[in-house]
Structures are given as C-alpha cells and as structure tokens.
Structure 1
Amino acid sequence: MKKTFVLVILFVFPLVAYLFFASGVNNFGKLPTLTENVPDISQIDPSVTLDGKITILGFLGRDVEGKKGNAFNLNQKIYKRFSEFHDFQMLMVVPESSKDQVESLREELNELSNAEKWNFAFGTDAEIRSFFNELKTDLTLDSDLYTPFVFIVDKDRNLRGRTDDEDEGIKYGFNTTSVAELNNKMEDDVKIILAEYRLALKKNNADRSK
C-alpha cells in the first residue's frame, strides 16, 4: 500500500498537474487587447522601439531617485523572472532632464541583476504626455510625468490587460508600489502573453514542417 502511494505521488500527480496547467493555457491563452496600435516610442527616442518586443512600459517622471523603489519592485518580481525570454524588455519613459538620475538607477539595477534589457526613452514633457495619452487608459500622469502603473505592450504595439479583473473590471496597468499586485496579477498576465507567443511559434514551426 505504501509503495503504491509513493508511485502515485511520483508519477500520477505530476501528470495530473501537467494536464491541469495545459488546459489552463488553452482556456486562458489570450490576454485581452485593450488598445490597438500604440505609437512606437522611437518617434520620441530613436534609440528604442516597441516593435517586435514584449514590453513592460512605465513612466518614472522627473524624480527618478524617489521612484527607485518602484523599479526595484519591478526588477525583483517581474524582470528577474522573465528577462531571459527572447524579445522581452523593460522600457521606462523619462523626461530629458532626468538622464543623470537614470544612470544612477541603471547602475543600481545592474548590481541586482543583469540589467541589459532595462531600456529608457527620453522625451520632452509634451512628447511624453502625448505618448501616454495614446495608450487610452483610465489612468493619468501626475505633474511630474509619473504614474506608479506599468503596462504590458505586445510585439504588435497593442496594450494588453484585463477586461474582467475582480477588483477593477477593466485593468490597464499594474501598480508597482504593490508587491502583492505584481506577484498575484502582473506575473500571471506576463506568463499568459509569453505562453501565447510560445504556442504561436510552435504552431508556425509545426506548419512549416508539414
């Protein structure tokens, strides 16, 4: 009896778990599109692009020094987990006047992990506000061009989020001041969009081999 129980634990349970999660990907394999055709950030800063990237997009504002905690939360809970995925990037939009503060932040991020996929775009106040408004969310930037919320933008420059969030209904962004929200909601949604692209890639490869 004991031997049978051990065999069940070792072989049957992993199979059941796999089938459960596999069905979850099939049933929840699409993260809703909330805004289509977000303009490319390269219109503001040619050194970066949203095209062909799964992007976590944020707006740190003028006081980058004061918002480092947000970046560190994001780095620990999201970036470290997903940075090895191809075409994944973090992109923070910052006023041109804050370049020195960004360099300091970049150095500190590099001490925590390899921050090569942390990118920063610099623009004028008007450019940043105009770009943010094109996301067409229910959120706003403050007077310093800052919001604690970050956004998931897919490779085709579509803003992804939730249409049936249990707390907000339509959920455009994720609050980086809340570790619980990053853990319990954003991590799940990033997993979904990455799984979506992986499944599409497998399908394309399978079609080519026929």
Structure 2
Amino acid sequence: MSSSSSVPGPDVPRIDYAGEGLDESAVAATPWEQANAWVEHAAEVARSRDDVPEPTAISVATVDSSGAPNVRTVLMRFFDERGPGFVTNLGSSKGREIEHEPRVAVSLTWPALYRAIRFRGRAEPLGRDEVEAYFDSRPYGSRLSAWASEQSEPATGRDELERRWAEVSQRFPDTGDDTDVPVPPFWGGYRVRCDEVEFWAGRSNRLHDRIVFTRVGDGDLATANAWRRSRRQP
C-alpha cells in the first residue's frame, strides 16, 4: 500500500480569496438591488479586463424524470425584478426536465471578483412577445442555428450540423431584416421566480460571507417585505 502523502486531485496552486466580502451594513434592501448592482459591476469590469469573460453566463440545474440532477451553462438573456431568464429549444433536455419539474437552481459566478449569486425557485415560461423580441435581436447566424439544431439530440458528426445549417440558410436567406428568420415554434425560454437568493463573497482563510434572502411573502425581487435576510456559515 502506497505511503505517499500527496493530496488526490489536480495539482493547482491554492488561492486565498482576498475579496471585499459582504457585510450586512453594505447589503441592499432587496435582492433585486443587490443582484443588479453585482451584475452591472461584473459587466463593467468585463469591458476592461480579460478575467471576467461572459459575465452573464449562468449555470442552470434541473432534475430529470428519475430525479437525477443535470446542469449546464447558458447566457442570462433577461434580468429584471421578476428574476433571471434564459432562452432554449423547448425540446432540449433542460426544456423537457423543466416541464416535468419546474423547480430549478441558477447560479452566476465570477471567480476573479470572488463573488457569486445563487437563485432558487420555479422556472416559468417567458411570454411569447418577449421571446420574439429577443429572437429578432439575435445575429442572423444565431437565428439560423435555432432552426438547425435539434438541441440535446444525438448527432452523427460535425458534418450533419453544417449540412443542416446550410439547408436553413437556403430556406431563410439573409435579407438584412431582423425578421427574415421567424421564431421556431419549438423555441422559447424561462424566467425563474425566485424563492431564495444567496450572495456569496469570498474572504481570506475561507471565512466567506453568505447573505441570503428568503421569500416570506408575495412580490418580486424588488418587493422589500417579501423577503427575510439572514447569514449562513461558509
């Protein structure tokens, strides 16, 4: 039996999370104000630094029909007082799983800023008007890809994807108009109606700050009396 004292896992340097932390005195009155401030700050930093790529990338966790967890990273395309939102092929694995069990968890993580936000709640379908307005704002190639990809289904190879993309480009030629590619009937999105929002801020010696807003009443993320604030141990 080996007597090696090496620690299992990848050999990576340890980092002391020397962040600003998050003291109760600095926390905004509502989860919307706090989350929006952090998202805007991350977006601002991303414009001048290379270590905060895709500042609105979110991990979306669901469970399948057997109860097994699943997680993937997508872009947060909607964010307001109602909660974070994203788009997808409704027939994808995430779409099927949300239809079966709408309770989800979503996280925004900015390692270089020593910050993260966790949202827990229920995924609710976006209104069709919101979906269409966002779809029409996408670049032409991205709109085509929504038609070309049977998201989450098996693919025989890269050639199949390129062939399907070429076919839909012939079907919907680029006219320079935002509506030259219609919204696919199988394409939509979800907004998370949150029941809990946690703000994580890294601190030295792993004594991180975790400030949590828990729903206690009706209202959106900006409704102060709908939330109770507390602290969790790191």
Asked if these proteins are the same fold (TM beyond 0.5), I'd say no
Query: TM-score of the superposition, structure 2-length normalised?
Result: 0.26
Which one has the largest radius of gyration?
A: 2
Higher helix share: 1
Where relative contact order (Cα < 8 A, 6+ residues apart) is larger, the structure is 1
